[in-house]
Copies of this chain bind each other. A is one copy, B any other.
Amino acid sequence: MLNETHIAALQALVSDKGLVRDAGGMAAYENGARYDEGRAALVLRPQTAEEVSAVVSYCVKNGLPLVPQSGNTGLVSGSTPDNSGTQIVLSLDRMVKRFDLDLDNRSLRLDAGFTLSEINRRLEPRGLFFPIDLGADPRLGGMIATNTGGSRFLKYGDVRKNTLGLTVVLADEAGTVLDLSSDLRKNNTGIDWKHVFIGTSGAFGIVTECVVNLERLPRQTATAYLVPASGAHVMPLLRAMEERLGAYLSAFEGMSKNAVSAALSHVPSLKNPFQGGNIPDYVILAEISRTWEPREGEQPLDAVLESVLAEIWESEEAPLADAFVGPAHEMWSLRHALSEGVKHLGKLIAFDLSFRRGDIMAFCDHMKLEMPARFPDITICDFGHIGDGGVHFNLVVPKDSQAATDQDFEKRLRDWIFSVAVERFSGSFSAEHAIGRKNQSYYDQYTPRQVRTLAAGLKAITSPGALGTVRF
């Protein structure tokens, strides 16, 4: 248990602002973005890998549990302390010094505490960006711990694909600083250890520095709403788009009628873009983009999209019921307002699932069929990243219903949905949010015994100390 001797010792390892112990100051680190309300024993805010190492070493030696916290925007209780009041939050929010751009290598070496928006604000004048597109504004360390994907995964991949190297502090007695911070794009001289720390919720080490790949900013985009002829036409439509647009295609986002309708009803700035105001059962937001400025002799991107859609419209499979090209800003505004809109309908119960791309619509259809009998109060408001198999399977119960306050209700619902997703459709119960306390029991349940045994072994040889919110 933390005592005053520990606090004095830890204070000596970080600078003045590096230790927070008053209730007011700690509050921001105790509450999660959407769900959590925990209690921290203390909050530490080191500024360098050496400070992190010293703090970790001290805590491991003294049996003090640490929870690394980055931007704290996650949705699975991965970065907040539990209710015990015994966990120390180690925040990355002051690790924001190093920011070394390598233009020739198109890479960036930086401290793990930078926010995504700050990174891209600094890169914008160079025509570059870190190509992970999210609604939230996480810090980099947490993006690595969750391996976030986002809306442009289809074109740029996830955080893993855009990470060249890492520096990590292990939770062992030495507070080992593990330098995996290669800038190389190609290097096969042993195990690529960084992957152990990507997507594993900070349980194997604390990321302090990163080398990431950068991409050129899009300079031309064209967007369209596509209405598939039916759910069964979504995949033929995606395949037709990929066939004709290749690397141009930068988003292929699906939106259900319920989600669109909730956004249009509750977010005043949105206009209903559909003919006669009739919202289709399912709509795809497709985006194509080019990273260069328009050139003479080159067909404008809107015209490319128009002509491709015309070709698909007339194709034998006839996957399109309707399609219209429109202004990017307006079209994305609707997409980004879906979460907000759905929340107005009642209590939101969110699922971050993924499937083989061809199974997404089958899963949603299955759920629409089975849900009313099992959970009659639920409205399904799904949307997702069809191009990479991700589904934000968001459900709503009315705020005044019994279900909204019944803890057991949510557990039964989660258990059932995950069992269908994982067992029946070979899907994932966490596509891009990783694991936290919220998903621990599902990790235990759905991870094969052999894999769990290996993970426990790996935990023992990397970070045997109490680190993070997940038990591997």
Residues in chain A within 8 A of chain B (CB atoms): 102-107, 127, 146-147, 149, 153, 155, 157-158, 160-161, 176, 178-180, 182-193, 195-196, 198-200, 204, 216, 235, 238-239, 242-248, 290-292, 295-299, 303-304, 307-308, 354-358, 385, 388-390, 426-435, 439, 442-443, 446-448, 450-451, 454-455, 457-458, 461-462, 472
Contact = CB atoms under 8 A, between A and B. Distances in A.
Contact of A389 (B185, B199, B299): B185
24 contacts: A102-B358, A103-B239, A104-B358, A105-B358, A127-B243, A157-B161, A178-B450, A182-B428, A184-B431, A186-B388, A186-B431, A188-B431, A188-B433, A189-B443, A189-B447, A190-B455, A191-B458, A193-B454, A216-B243, A244-B292, A246-B247, A247-B247, A297-B303, A461-B461
Nearest to A248: B247
Given A188-B428, A189-B435, A191-B200, A357 B455 contact: no
Contacts of A446: 189
A426 B179 CA distance: 13
Nearest to A181: B426
Contacts of A304: 298
Given A243-B291, A461-B461, 13 more contacts: A104-B235, A157-B161, A158-B186, A160-B192, A161-B161, A179-B448, A187-B428, A188-B428, A190-B199, A190-B443, A192-B195, A192-B198, A244-B292
A186 B428 contact: yes
Nearest to A387: B185
A191 B455 contact: yes
B195 A389 contact: no
B451 A356 contact: no
Given A186-B388, A186-B431, A191 B472 contact: yes
A451 B389 contact: no
Nearest to A187: B428
B299 A185 contact: no
Q: How many subunits of this chain does the assembly comprise?
A: 2
A390 B185 CA distance: 8
B104 A357 contact: yes
Contacts of A188: 146-147, 199, 428, 430-435
A79 to B, nearest CB: 14
- A157, A184, A307, A388: residue with the most chain B Cβ atoms closer than 10 Å: A184
Contacts of A443: 189-190
Nearest to A247: B247
Contact of A104 (B103, B180, B239, B354): B239
A367 B448 CA distance: 51
Contacts of A160: 192
Contacts of A186: 149, 153, 158, 354, 385, 388-390, 428, 431-432
B450 A457 contact: no
Contacts of A200: 190-191
A389 to B, nearest CB: 5
A355 B185 CA distance: 8
A248 B248 CA distance: 9
A100 to B, nearest CB: 12
Contacts of A195: 191-192, 195-196
Nearest to A76: B188
Given A104-B357, A186-B390, A299-B298, A216 B191 contact: no
Nearest to A183: B356
Given A193-B451, A304-B298, A389-B186, A242 B106 contact: yes
B199 A192 contact: yes
Contacts of A248: 247
A290 B190 contact: no
B105 A357 contact: yes
A58 to B, nearest CB: 20
Nearest to A127: B243
Contact of A245 (B107, B292, B454, B455): B292
A389 B107 CA distance: 12
A439 B189 contact: yes
